[in-house]
Amino acid sequence: MPQLQRLSPATLIDALAGTARPTYDRERLKPGIVHLGLGAFFRAHGAIYTEDVLPEATPDWGIIGVSLKRPEQRDRLEPQGGLYTAVEKDQNGERARIIGSVLGVLVAPEDPGAVLEAMSAPETRIVSLTVTEKGYCHDPATGRLDDTHPDIVHDLENPTEPRSAIGFIVEALERRREAGDSPFTVLCCDNLPHNGELVRGLVLSFAQSRDCGLAAWIERHGAFPSTMVDRIVPAVTPADIADVARLTGLADEAPVVHEPFKQWVIEDNFVDGQRPDWENAGAQLVEDVAPFELMKLRMLNGSHSSLAYLGYLAGCETIFDAVSEPALRAYVVRLWRDEIAPVLPPPPGADLRAYADALLVRFSNPAIRHRTWQIAMDGSQKLPQRLLGTIAERLARGLPIPCLALAVAAWIRYVGGVDERGQPIDVRDPMATDFRDALNRAGNDPLARVRAILGIKAVFGTELPADARFESAVAQAYATLLISGARRAAEVVAAS
């Protein structure tokens, strides 16, 4: 078989028939957005929304991506001129399109000055972020900036060579202020409650530590709209790269794979009203994102995490595999119906039962191989938003929490680092060492192990662990997991 040409602006015309390609003049495209954290999700979501409005927009909404940690994304995309293939997969097949909205990628550790220059350029009107929950250097339990975080300490001491997303944003805004330019809009696209408000608080706290005048200027002139983002985007595998070559006839080192569904709800609050017309691509521009965000965090993300931990322990590689297990499928249906939905106010026009039904269809898509291990990462940062809020509300109303307690117990078993078959688990979490140390101190007693983890305030705060109903429910679920395994534990809870 002859070696395929690599996707690039020069080979774009050689893509096979049936491959959708940019319909605008990409040579005229200029940057207007800098995106921090150019991972697969944004390239399968925000970059595609932007791609879809470029044919009818002014050509100044191109995207400059920034990798805050490693150069691999740049190294894959640079030879391709920023082009990459997005493959939509479902039961009906695969559809490939080539995305051109990303113009280039900068690597922050190699040249923080270049990143700051791009962010502070007056042409940049939006700085967006998908840096994951742990990328905000905050305490998930309180939402406050962690001023002891090594990157925050470094950035306060070395403001012109920042490491953190918050440090980059504040230094770039300071340069805008000194130049007499308007600030850019900071658009958080991570799964965090009230994400715009949260990031605004972190930025202002950091700026206050640098310069009270800078903080006041940001507070007066800046904009931090909240958003809700939704699309299932699994990690790319070698098989996906081979599929792209088959579909397009070109070699692409940086494709993304996604489901057909996508949703973007955005608070319409931008500096000087400057933004792409994303609503023309299907985004919802609203006054209040909170109800949509809460529904998604608790219904989709909460169940995703629950299935990830239980599914991994049960030997399920993907979410599809997990919902194909009758016990886990029945469990997640009961989790939505009996525990999450009853304490969740629906957004305007939304039907929570229909939303849950649609989620089950999405999770059952055999073409999307979303690994439970991938979703299980960084649970310490995710659980407070995805599960603990619902638990607190149910306990406040005197309601039981068997499904939710089982999810927390499965996470505790997961971070213990050994699965049901006695095999080691590669636990990826910024607090993995804390969990290991706490469990080692607790020994082998199940109740002591549960208490050790629930006592970690950075995850659980102080109120929930002090509630005997919460500790008892989690301890009982944890004991069932140890004795009967994840499948049986889910079966028992679903039938109760």
Per the listing, tokens 């044919």 go with 55
Pick the last residue of a domain from 255, 286, 317.
286
Distance of CA 305 to the CA centre of its chain: 12
Are 277 and 294 part of one and the same domain?
A: no
Residue 6 is assigned to a structural domain of this protein: no
Residue 95 is assigned to a structural domain of this protein: yes
Pick the last residue of a domain from 286, 308, 327.
286
Residue 4 is assigned to a structural domain of this protein: no
CATH code, domain with 96: 3.40.50.720
Positions in the chain whose pLDDT score sits under 50: 1
The per-residue pLDDT for 198 is 97
Alpha helices in 315-399 (DSSP H): 319-323, 326-334, 352-363, 372-376, 379-383, 389-396
Per the listing, tokens 């993995």 go with 432
Are 277 and 355 part of one and the same domain?
A: no
Residue 3 is assigned to a structural domain of this protein: no
For the four alpha carbons of 73, 75, 78 and 80, in that order, the dihedral sign comes to negative
Are 369 and 277 part of one and the same domain?
A: no
Are 278 and 294 part of one and the same domain?
A: no
Are 244 and 333 part of one and the same domain?
A: no
φ/ψ (deg, to 5) at 339? -120, -40
CATH code, domain with 402: 1.10.1040.10
Tell me the chain's radius of gyration from C-alpha atoms.
23
Are 303 and 279 part of one and the same domain?
A: no
Are 323 and 270 part of one and the same domain?
A: no
Are 175 and 282 part of one and the same domain?
A: yes
Residue 7 is assigned to a structural domain of this protein: no
Residue 387 is assigned to a structural domain of this protein: yes
- Tell me the pLDDT tens digit for each residue of 206-249: 999 999 999 999 999 999 999 999 999 999 999 999 999 999 99
Total residue count of the chain as it appears in this document: 496
- Tell me the pLDDT tens digit for each residue of 367-408: 998 999 999 999 999 999 999 999 999 999 999 999 999 999
Alpha-carbon span 321 to 317, nearest angstrom: 6
Residue 278 is assigned to a structural domain of this protein: yes
Are 204 and 238 part of one and the same domain?
A: yes
Alpha-carbon span 311 to 373, nearest angstrom: 9
In terms of residue numbers, what domain contains 267?
12-286
Alpha-carbon span 170 to 22, nearest angstrom: 34
At 426, is the secondary structure helix, strand, or coil? coil
φ/ψ (deg, to 5) at 90? -155, -170
- Burial string for 102-132 (b: 16+ CB within 10 Å, else e) reads bbbbbbbeeebeebbebbbbeebbbbbbbbb
Pick the last residue of a domain from 237, 259, 286.
286
Are 252 and 305 part of one and the same domain?
A: no
The per-residue pLDDT for 398 is 98
Alpha-carbon span 108 to 453, nearest angstrom: 35
The per-residue pLDDT for 2 is 56
The per-residue pLDDT for 1 is 37
Residue 282 is assigned to a structural domain of this protein: yes
Are 246 and 341 part of one and the same domain?
A: no
Structurally, the chain folds into a number of domains equal to: 2
Are 56 and 129 part of one and the same domain?
A: yes
